[in-house]
Structure 1
């Protein structure tokens, strides 16, 4: 057998990635313009399912890191993805995409809301959007649950940690930072223990 073929490693298919800073800026601008409340569902669909820039597992890991960092989760995620592909220039470009046009839209909406805030139809529409946002977040959570098959923790442990987090935050109003520190630390410790040789 030739020495070259003995040392050759199997080639992995090329991974989809943003081709340029312009594509990165455009992608995050469009994400930000779609993100009325339920942005996690939209980000997951666009970056994982449509563009393939992240796998389900990578998205969950990056989203978890983005949540424990200070600031808006999706902005943190944009910085991480931009930095991964283009370094500091990519991080700043993704950040600009997340903030530039949405800031203009928010300013225009704030002016419009100030003028029409007393309108009953406007108030009803805003309440309806909140319900849709909750549905989008729930749908994204269900879609991402398939990644638990590759999680080092058994499924019952994952469900127990998720259930405990829901109860602590939604019912007992425990601060999110404390829940992330406590249950997140527990999850990390259990996963590390199972992965240890």
Structure 2
């Protein structure tokens, strides 16, 4: 078969190749994420959506998570609602949200009752400290993976903006709302400028 006859998804591995998930698939997928996400669900959400089910490309996931990051509320909760609504409307958003929140609520309620009785045990405190270290490692791994699309495209402007936001919030301790009010318009303006330049170069 000649290369031109191959499907676009096969010739572009960065594109999602699986059909849109149904309501049950959304609920089950996000339930698995929530039950696997010790210390944070983001790492498992990206793995399931991008790598396991191929419902989104890496770039689409980054863009969706960026939108959810700027919305009020927990990022991963926003992601579940936006992701489910994108494929199955309001019902899909509710299915993903219920799968993400339902199982942990039951487990945390039980653990909270146990912690009220055994929270002062020193061994338990050490276990929780170890879990915190693992959670930080997972978060760092996700950040590196989410950077890969920028590195592959050699988007040096995007990387510079990312570094500037990190320095402003993480090092200079500037207020998050103030940094976002400056960074978001700059990012949007840069994106439009790059797109216009690409369109001009594409014209004969």
Q: Same fold (TM over 0.5)?
A: yes
- SS of 2:55's equivalent? coil
2:95 pairs, out of 93, 100, 113, with 93
Q: Counterpart of 1:5?
A: none
Task: Give TM-score scaled by structure 1 length.
Answer: 0.85
- Write out per-residue CA displacement over residues 161-197 of structure 1, whole angstroms, 9 at most, x where no aligned residue: 2222222222233233332332232122112112124
Once the 2 structures are TM-superposed, how far is the Cα of residue 84 of structure 1 from its aligned partner?
1.3
CA RMSD of aligned residues (A): 2.1
Worse-matched range after superposition: 20-29 or 157-166: 157-166
Q: Residues of 1 paired with 2:151 and 2:171: CA distance?
A: 28
Q: Which deviates the most, 13-22 or 106-115? A: 13-22
**For residue 41 of structure 2, what is the aligned residue in structure 1?**
39
Structure 2 stretches of 5 or more lacking a match? Answer: 10-15
Contact 2:21 2:87 in 1 (8 A): no
For structure 1, the residue ranges without an aligned partner over 5 or more in a row are 1-8
Residue of structure 1 equivalent to 2:25? 23
In the alignment of these two chains, the number of paired residues is 187
Query: Which fold has the larger relative contact order, with Cα–Cα distance below 8 Å and residues 6 or more apart in sequence?
Result: 1
Alignment of 1:146-157 (within 5 A): 146-149=148-151, 155-157=155-157
The 3-state SS of whatever aligns with 2:72 is: coil
The Cα shift of 1:73 comes to: 0.7
- Find 1:55's aligned residue among 35, 57, 62: 57
